[in-house]
Structure 1
Amino acid sequence: MPSLSEETNGRIERLMPGSTIGIIGGGQLGRMMALSARYMGFRVGVLDPTPDCPTAQVADFQIVAEYDDKTAIHDLAVKSDVLTYEFENVDADAIDEVRGLAAVPQGTDLLRVTQDRVNEKQFINDHGTATAPWRAVNNFDELDAALDEIHYPAVLKTRSGGYDGHGQTVLRSDADLEQVRARGDRGGGFPPSILEGFVDFAFEASILVSGNGTDFVTFPIVRNEHRNNILHMTIAPATVSETVARKAHELALRLAKGFELAGTLAIELFVTKDDDVIVNELAPRPHNSGHYTIEACSFDQFDAHVRGIAGWPLEQPKLLSPAVMVNVLGQHVEPTRVLIADHPEWNVHDYGKAEVRHDRKMGHITVLTDDTAKTVADLEATGCWDDLQPQSAKA
């Protein structure tokens, strides 16, 4: 095993090339993380239940097992110098149990906070940052009381789990509330949840922040468009005032310092019509809205993540070119492939997933441009994404 400098609080002072990074989760984020790690000279292992998953295709080895398989996590730790993860639904207790075998630079505090929406909102608020109004609700009586304070419209979300709109119910009236009650009466129960008020926002945005535990850097604030509760397009940079850019940068650094962040953290935002910035959710990892950084920045979100968990220094990334990133879902694979020969400006990324499914993220396309509005229009004019309808405001 390559020699490491002294480990402190789960972090190493510096991980040397030739060392092994173990990734829990083998999807596209792990794949791009592994590619960055390979460029820096690291070995890569992955734990994922799907043989030949996207990350395994570019890794040195794979352990085929479920994400919560403690024996498998132990085996990955034995073969790795550092452990990281590509998504937040990871067993934090299992990671804690192997800290003596491999360094865990991200720790599990960040994981536990972001796995629970109530803890997440509380952490954000405790660090001087605004969110939508919210209340923890554990039964229908508490839901009624929360609605009396927050009022319609609101969104009811499970405290844990769920992504791309799953585990969420929009409540606009008593009729919607009665549907939730009916589900409970049919045996659906009432899982621990959070009720969030709607935010009257101008648009959705996000910002990435990366750190090595002590030093932190931010990427530009970008504008996001969701369709069918799935990120459709990211425009970098977002056209915002200096006030909004400063607020986003400052809140990102506050949260990163609060977590003593190692790696990359994505912060999903609402930008309001009066130039305020409100945090929606956190993702303790690289993020779909940061894929543009691969081509458009001096180093990308995956480079920053790997450097951060390896204890390497971080330089403030530079935006080299404005860019537009658009997701390729299952239904868009064939239409976009037909057009590849006609679009040399497309930077095409395919995630190597074996099964093509409707609404499944299969890849993305990034276009570097001097005119993001024209590029958005050009992409939409191809017709590849005609099945997706613009999404209305949400909490």
Structure 2
Amino acid sequence: MGEGMTNLLIPGQTIGIIGGGKTARMICLSAKKMGMRIGIIDENPKNLASDVADWQIIGAVSDTKKLVEFANKVDMVLYDDEQIKLSDLLALSEVTILPQGKVLVELSKNRIEERAFLENCNVNIAPYRVAHVMVDVYDAVEYLGYPCIIKSAKPLVNQPNVVIIEGMEDISKCADMMAHGPCIVESLIPKTKEISVMVANNGVDKPVFFPISEKAKIHKSLEGSVGPIHLLEELEQEIYRIAEILTLTLRVKGVLTIEMFINDMGIIYVNTISGVPTSDGYFTEYACTLSQTDALVRAACGWPLSLEAREEQWLTIEVDKHHYPQLIGQLPYQKNWQIQVFGANVSMIKDSRAGAGFVAIPVEQLSEAYSDAIGSQIWSD
């Protein structure tokens, strides 16, 4: 039936979600508020979204036959990450509506194509070169200088996708990665801020922009996100100008997340783009009149969008399964925190580092919010 179409879905119709992870669960909850029925497909019958969906099909999200069977039972299909095969998206588009389309999935699977797309949009990105063999890496490093970063063009499983090159002796470290296919060699530009901005678009009205959030380096390896943040007016205007260009060029129907960084000269670089909600948008649950998943579902269903930011700033930190018991231990003591747990099935998560929930800490002074997080001992190891 097609992708990016402007069909209107109404309460009582069925949205199908490919995947049953934490994002699928949050999409389910947003869709339920709109009166939609929800079906999911996932190979794990006790997935994180299963206790909020109306029904599910047990099957791998890579099983084309199961996916088509699933698509025939719903009025529209959303995906909760970008791991789905492009050939499967094409097959699904024959039988149902795919508002998120396939372009962002295609770009997520190939950094070379993503970089070429961003260049064609005339947005600023870090200087880079494509490397097909090791000699290309040496040539690229000579051209770009140190430090630089080497990234696999396509996602690799169970091995590094990134190597930092600070000197000639580091180049050989990328040989294993290069053996799996082309890479990009990119200048490693010193940055003062890593930020994200999300845009929602229903394909009819003007795009709606979420406030900007910033990556938070809290303590050692503990990271989170702070939002909303405010920057110089001219910086914010440029960030939103870039976001609008990318949204309209991609004909987004849903949400677009754009990760950028800013150097000490105030120059903005686009790092990567995604068509699904991310952890950088958790703050929207409390800081905005629409959350990122509310906006995704409303936009995908062709509903109008209206968004206002609230005054409060929030520090959000994900809690993985390994740290989940410590989170539960803090429940009686953190009266000002907002806590979201990804359902009754978190105990079924196999990967101890997979997300089990997140906390949102109200910010008056950021240093105090950091101290509260560290002092809770939830992430003490």
| C-alpha deviation, 1:114, in angstroms | 2.4
Instruction: Output the amino acid matched with 2:296.
Output: H
Counterpart of 1:29 (choices 23, 48, 52) is 23
Q: Paired residues, what number? A: 377
Stretches of structure 1 that go unaligned for 5 or more consecutive residues are 1-6, 388-395
| C-alpha deviation, 1:10, in angstroms | 4.6
| C-alpha deviation, 1:227, in angstroms | 8.1
Paired with 1:93 and 1:13, the residues of 2 have a C-alpha distance of 23
| C-alpha deviation, 1:280, in angstroms | 1.0
| C-alpha deviation, 1:231, in angstroms | 7.8
| C-alpha deviation, 1:121, in angstroms | 1.4
Deviates most, 51-60 or 155-164: 155-164
Match of 1:204 in 2: 194
Q: Which aligned pairs between 1:237-252 and structure 2 lie closer than 5 A?
A: 237-252=228-243
Counterpart of 2:284 (choices 275, 288, 293) is 293
Give TM-score scaled by structure 1 length: 0.89
Match of 1:341 in 2: 332
Instruction: Output the amino acid matched with 1:86.
Output: D
Stretches of structure 2 that go unaligned for 5 or more consecutive residues are none
| C-alpha deviation, 1:164, in angstroms | 12
The 3 A distance-change label for structure 1 pair 164 and 350 is farther
Give TM-score scaled by structure 2 length: 0.92
Match of 2:134 in 1: 140
Q: Which aligned pairs between 1:156-171 and structure 2 lie closer than 5 A?
A: 156-161=150-155, 166-171=160-165
Helix, strand or coil: the match of 2:358? Answer: strand
Paired with 2:2 and 2:330, the residues of 1 have a C-alpha distance of 51
Deviates most, 34-43 or 47-56: 47-56
Counterpart of 2:358 (choices 357, 364, 370) is 364
Match of 2:214 in 1: 223
Q: Is 1:95 paired with 2:86?
A: no
Deviates most, 325-334 or 13-22: 325-334
| C-alpha deviation, 1:236, in angstroms | 1.0
Q: Which aligned pairs between 1:256-271 and structure 2 lie closer than 5 A?
A: 256-271=247-262
| C-alpha deviation, 1:277, in angstroms | 1.6
Counterpart of 2:305 (choices 295, 299, 314) is 314
Counterpart of 2:185 (choices 187, 195, 199) is 195
Paired with 2:301 and 2:208, the residues of 1 have a C-alpha distance of 15
Counterpart of 1:153 (choices 144, 147, 150) is 147
The 3 A distance-change label for structure 1 pair 328 and 356 is farther
| C-alpha deviation, 1:100, in angstroms | 2.8
Paired with 2:212 and 2:122, the residues of 1 have a C-alpha distance of 19
Q: Deviations over 1:100-137 (max 9, x none)?
A: 31111121122212221111112122112111111222
- 8 Å Cα contact 1:297-1:321 kept in structure 2: no
| C-alpha deviation, 1:368, in angstroms | 3.0
Q: Deviations over 1:312-365 (max 9, x none)?
A: 111133234211111112332122211110011111111233136443222100
- 8 Å Cα contact 1:73-1:95 kept in structure 2: no
Match of 2:72 in 1: 78
Paired with 1:38 and 1:149, the residues of 2 have a C-alpha distance of 53
Q: Which aligned pairs between 1:270-289 and structure 2 lie closer than 5 A?
A: 270-289=261-280
Paired with 1:278 and 1:256, the residues of 2 have a C-alpha distance of 16
Paired with 2:235 and 2:155, the residues of 1 have a C-alpha distance of 30
Paired with 2:144 and 2:234, the residues of 1 have a C-alpha distance of 28
Paired with 1:55 and 1:230, the residues of 2 have a C-alpha distance of 29
Match of 1:50 in 2: 44
Deviates most, 36-45 or 307-316: 307-316
Q: Deviations over 1:205-225 (max 9, x none)?
A: 111111112431111111113
Paired with 1:56 and 1:35, the residues of 2 have a C-alpha distance of 11
- 8 Å Cα contact 1:88-1:114 kept in structure 2: yes
Instruction: Output the amino acid matched with 2:99.
Output: P
Paired with 1:21 and 1:165, the residues of 2 have a C-alpha distance of 35
Paired with 2:168 and 2:220, the residues of 1 have a C-alpha distance of 23
Deviates most, 89-98 or 378-387: 378-387
Paired with 1:165 and 1:192, the residues of 2 have a C-alpha distance of 15
- 8 Å Cα contact 1:243-1:275 kept in structure 2: no
Paired with 1:199 and 1:40, the residues of 2 have a C-alpha distance of 43
Q: Is 1:381 paired with 2:371?
A: no
Counterpart of 2:53 (choices 42, 54, 59) is 59
Q: Is 1:328 paired with 2:319?
A: yes
Paired with 2:48 and 2:219, the residues of 1 have a C-alpha distance of 24
- 8 Å Cα contact 1:17-1:42 kept in structure 2: yes
Paired with 1:199 and 1:68, the residues of 2 have a C-alpha distance of 37
Match of 1:104 in 2: 98
Deviates most, 349-358 or 326-335: 349-358
Deviates most, 172-181 or 259-268: 172-181
- 8 Å Cα contact 1:271-1:278 kept in structure 2: yes
Helix, strand or coil: the match of 2:223? Answer: strand
Deviates most, 188-197 or 120-129: 188-197
Instruction: Output the amino acid matched with 1:342.
Output: Y
Instruction: Output the amino acid matched with 1:220.
Output: P
The 3 A distance-change label for structure 1 pair 164 and 263 is farther
